[in-house]
Each structure stands twice: as structure tokens, then as C-alpha cells.
Chain A
């Protein structure tokens, strides 16, 4: 008696699943719902739920001449590398997703990307900035720009916006992130304005508080803009000392300015300056503003960069799916088609900027960065979008 029930159940499941698979497309989300950074997981899930509702309320996703409902499967990776790996395997082999979004942090994204690539399933890492995530992994795509991209963007912005022919850089030589960024900026600025156009390339060491000697050199060098790829605890001191030494030119920063309590420490001194980042909530326009308004209405808070990048990542994957043409129903074939479609996407208009992938090499997006101006109220307001 019992056995026949089981058989019947299997029959129903066996019959039901191909039917369901024909009507829905499944995306997996490998996100940290618990662990060290549950906020990141929550933002990702919020954005994903909002996207799902939007698509399904509109009738579904049209692929080829058929309309599918979208289904999102959320797996918690507990913000751990091992769990991210098992979550990846579960999503791909058991849940049968056509593509996976996440993990968010590089710590989980790097091992998960290896598994996804081996299992030949497209993966989108919206927030991971480690170059290894996408390195030599054709099935893995990134949703944000790499650190190395910020230097050239800042250099371009400085040349165009301030008409600067001479620039100065002040950075912490003992820390990887500022050092890499400073060197990228120098190379890019000198490419635009000729060799020697970075007239002061000054360094300090972590924990320094007095930058007067370096800033004296910078103030006397005739630089028209100062690039400071530093963190929120150093920027206030640098900016204030620069003013005290008579340097009144604009100061430009990197996305590290946006983290932490910059305005609380810097106050009025930082107002009017600019920095390069992924996304700005204040002063956004068009599609970005629509997204922010809807998200705020739904979840009673302003979406952070994770939410925005997750939205874009999932959206890009679905857009690629549409352009991949009719689904064959064979997961392996469809996954390969999706990968090719994602790699070949011409211009995806996301809320964090337009994206496309280079024809050869790793799948790191060619993407516009956002330049933020710190306005008079101390808010980080969208100023303009700068493309490479």
C-alpha cells in the first residue's frame, strides 16, 4: 500500500516537472542570508523578489515565441566559502537552474565560480571585485567594474571636467588598494595629457596623520586636481591639511570614500569634492530613480549598491536569455546558449550604468562608472556617468 503511494507520487512528480519546466525559467541565487554579512543577502533577496514580481505581474518573460514565468531559488551560503560551494552544486544539479546569480563577496564568489564553470552553468557575480572570480572562466560573468578600472575613469573625468593638464596624487604606499589605483590613475592621466603631466606623485604610510610635507610639494607643483584614493579616515585629514597649505583645487577620490562615515568625520571640508563609484542613490534619474523609488516604497529603505547590482545582474541574465532565442528544454544546451548570449550582449542598459562584455578575455564588464559629487547638504549626489 505504502509503496504504491510512493510510486504514484514519483509518477506525479515525474510527469509534473517537465511540464513545469516548460512554463518557467529558474534562476538560482547564491547569497549570504545568514553569517557575517546578512545585510548583503537581504538586499540581494529584496532586489530579486522585486524583479520577479515585476516580470511575473507583467505576464512573464518572453523567450522566442513563448512566455515563461520566472522562478527564483534562494540558497543561503552563510557567507562561507564551503557553503557557497555546496549551494552552487545544489542549485545546479538538484534545482536545475539555468543560471546562477551570486555569490556576492569575492571570498565565496571565487570558489563558487570554479564549480559553476566546471558544471557549465552561467554565473553572474554582481558585487565581487577580485580578478580571480572571472579569470579564465568563460561561464562566469561579473556585474561590477574592477578596482583597476577606477583609475582610468578618474583620470578621464579629471581631464574632461576640470580641464586639468597637470594632476597630483597622494596615496598610501603600504596598502594594495590605494597603491594600485594611484598607479592606474597616473598611467591613464599621462596617456591623455602626455608624460610628466602627473606633476606630484606623493606617498605616505598607513597610520600617518601629518601630510604637510607631501601636500607642500603638491601645492607648489601647480597641479590642477588632486587624486586621493584613500579611506574615509584619512581623507578628512588630507583635505583639511591641503586647504591649510593653500591648495584650493578640486580633490577627486575613489569608491573607498563612499564606505564608512566620511561625512561624519570630514564635515564641511569635503563638500564640493568628487569621487568615482558604482552607483549613487541621491540625485539618480530615469530608470535608476524608478528602481530606488519602488524599492524604498516596498522595503522602507534606500537600496544599497548590492541591491542595485543584483538587480542589474539578474536582469542582464534574463535579457540574455531572451536574446538566446527559444529554449530547447535541454538544460545543458540552454545553459551554453545563455552563456554565449551573455557574452555577446551588445549594450545592456542597467540602473548602475550600461554594460557589455569584451569580445575576448575574461567576462569583466565594460561599464560606465558613476561620479558622485558631495553636495552642500553632505549627500553623495549623482553627478555624471563616465565611460571608459
Chain B
């Protein structure tokens, strides 16, 4: 019983890591632009596909050069995937969000645009690569360790480690660096910040680079853990991660991180003790309860609407 429980905590940590990594991206963009970037789940999906092609290329499957060993492929694929996914995110910002922002339209329209961008990414991928699923190559052979009857794999430890490191890094950037300070400043007052000589567009682009880059990272590790990828993989998990970010207190890095793990824990624990059909029912009831007690989320701070 205790072993099962410990095992499920480990399972939940792994599953929650993905929610957290995606929620961090939602949270960054929302924190700076007050824009719910609904395309984020699909950027995560694109990240997984980019990771797939990077790894296939580096493994030498396309025949350009003899492949590298798995560890080295992973080491090269992480920055490469993050950079390429960031390019996708920034492209979306440049062609879809920025023109709207320039025209000064209501934020609602930008949110709708984000939704459409997500659908375009999804269906574009479907049209381009087809509906057939891809099998992600094994980069690192899975090693199973058993400690006190609890099994852990190297992949699991890696995923949890990556989530925690990402959180620490983002937290550091936002709270301790100059550009982080600029991000927070834009979040407080978008109109006053340019007057202070801070290049707002650069900061916004940087935000998208960070958010999408970590979505790409999540895509890579997700594909390593669940090695069957398809164009719809990002939709549902993206929605759920968004809810996790809201429960954590959207706009707060720590909140997004905690919200992701909370959702992961609730989902795994419900499935462990109840039929799986109850999972979303119970999970979202709990989240609803949390929101009704703390409408700003676990870590959120109430903010007066600016007129």
C-alpha cells in the first residue's frame, strides 16, 4: 500500500512536470501581455515534432552524416529544439499578435486570434505530415531502478529534474535580471514602460522566446517519455495546463509551477483509487473548489482593474 502510494507520487511528479513546463509558458506570456496564449499547447506539439526531426537528423536517419550516440543527440537536441520552437513562437507573435496590438484592439480579439493560431498549427501539421503517428526514437535506453519496491527510471528522474531546473531558471530570470524587471514592469503598466526608454517590443519578443522555448523543451521530454506523437497531442494537455496555471495564480511563476504539479497529483491519485472515468470529474471539481475559495489562484495577488 505504502509502496503503491510512493510509486504514484513518483508517477504524479513525472506527469505534473509536463503540466508545469507548459503552464510556465502560459504564465510568462500572460504575466507580461495579459494575453492568454491559447496557441501554447500547439506550440508544445510543434516542439515535439521539431524535437522528433532534430533527433532523427542527429541520429543520422536522414543519411546526411553518420549518427551521433544517443546522449550526445540529446545534449544537442535540447538547445536546438528550444531555439527552433522559440522561432515558431516569435513568428506567431510577429505575424498574428503584434499587428493587432499595434492597432490597439481589445484583448479579446487577440485571445481569439491565439485560438485560431493554435488550430492553424494543428491542422497545418496534419496537412503537411499526415495523421499517421510518429514513433520518437529512443535516445537514452531506459534503465529501471528499484528502491524499496518503488521503481524509477532514468527518464522519470530526468523529466522531474528538468521541470525543477526550468522553474528555478525562469524564476531567476524574472526576479533577478534586468530583462526580468522589464517584463514585470510591462506587466504593471504597458503604456508607461516605453516612456521610460524600455524597448517594449524587445521584451515581449523575449517573453515569447522564453515561453515557447520551454514549450519546446516540454515537447522534447514528453516525446521521450511517451514516444508516440500526433498532431493533436498538444490540444488537451495545453488546455489542462492553462487551467493549472489559473489555479496556481496566473501571472505567478511559482503558481504555474505548483498548479501543474497539483493537477498532476490529483489526476494520478484519482486514477489510482477510482475508475478512470472519474478522473477529470474529481480533478476539476477540486480545482473549481480551490478557485471559488481563492479566485486569484494559490499564488495570485488580487489586482485592481485599470481603467
Contacts and interface: CB of A to CB of B under 8 A. Distances in A.
Interface stretch (B76-84, B227-235, B291-299): B227-235
Contacts of B236: 207
A246 B151 contact: yes
A264 B226 CA distance: 15
Nearest to A204: B276
Contact of B144 (A203, A214, A243): A243
A57 interface: no
A212 B15 CA distance: 9
A223 to B, nearest CB: 14
A244 B277 contact: no
Interface stretch (A133-141, A233-241, A286-294, A325-333): A233-241
B52 to A, nearest CB: 13
A217 B151 contact: no
Contacts, number: 84
A244 B8 contact: no
B229 to A, nearest CB: 10
A173 B11 CA distance: 21
B132 A214 contact: no
A265 B228 contact: yes
Size bracket, chain B contacts: 20 to 34
A210 interface: yes
A196 interface: no
Contacts of B230: 233
A207 B228 CA distance: 11
B197 interface: no
A203 B270 CA distance: 12
A195 interface: no
A246 B142 CA distance: 12
Contacts of A208: 276
Given A213-B268, A265-B228, A267-B135, A245 B276 contact: no
B222 to A, nearest CB: 8
Contacts of A261: 132-133
Contact of A216 (B132, B144, B272, B275): B272
A341 B276 CA distance: 49
B226 A245 contact: no
B3 interface: yes
Given A212-B11, A213-B271, A244 B151 contact: yes
Contact of B146 (A205, A217, A246, A266): A246
Interface string B100-134: 00000000000000000000000000000000110
B54 to A, nearest CB: 19
Contacts of A204: 271, 276
Nearest to A245: B151
A267 B279 CA distance: 31
A205 B276 contact: yes
B130 to A, nearest CB: 12
A202 interface: yes
Q: Which of B153, B272, B276 is the most central at the interface, judged by chain A CB atoms within 10 Å of its CB?
A: B276
A220 interface: yes
B269 to A, nearest CB: 8
Contacts of A207: 232, 236
B155 A216 contact: no
Contact of B15 (A173, A210, A214): A210
A203 B277 contact: yes
Contact of A244 (B4, B153, B272, B275): B153
Contacts of B202: none
Contacts of B277: 173-174, 203, 205
B144 A233 contact: no
B166 interface: no
A203 B15 CA distance: 18
Interface string A199-232: 0001111011110111011011000000000000
B138 interface: yes
Contact of B142 (A212, A216, A217, A243): A243
Interface in A157-184: 173-174
B66 to A, nearest CB: 21
B156 interface: yes
B187 interface: no
Contacts of B275: 173, 203
A235 to B, nearest CB: 9
B233 A216 contact: no
B271 to A, nearest CB: 4
Interface of B: 3-4, 7-8, 11, 14-15, 132-133, 135, 138, 142, 144, 146, 151, 153, 155-156, 226-228, 230, 232-233, 236, 268-269, 271-272, 275-277, 279-280
For the complex of A and B, 3 pairs with smallest distance between CB atoms: A212-B11, A213-B271, A246-B151
Given A212-B8, A243-B142, A265-B133, 6 more contacts: A210-B15, A210-B268, A244-B153, A244-B155, A244-B156, A246-B151
Interface of A: 173-174, 202-205, 207-210, 212-214, 216-217, 219-220, 233, 236-237, 240, 243-246, 261, 264-267
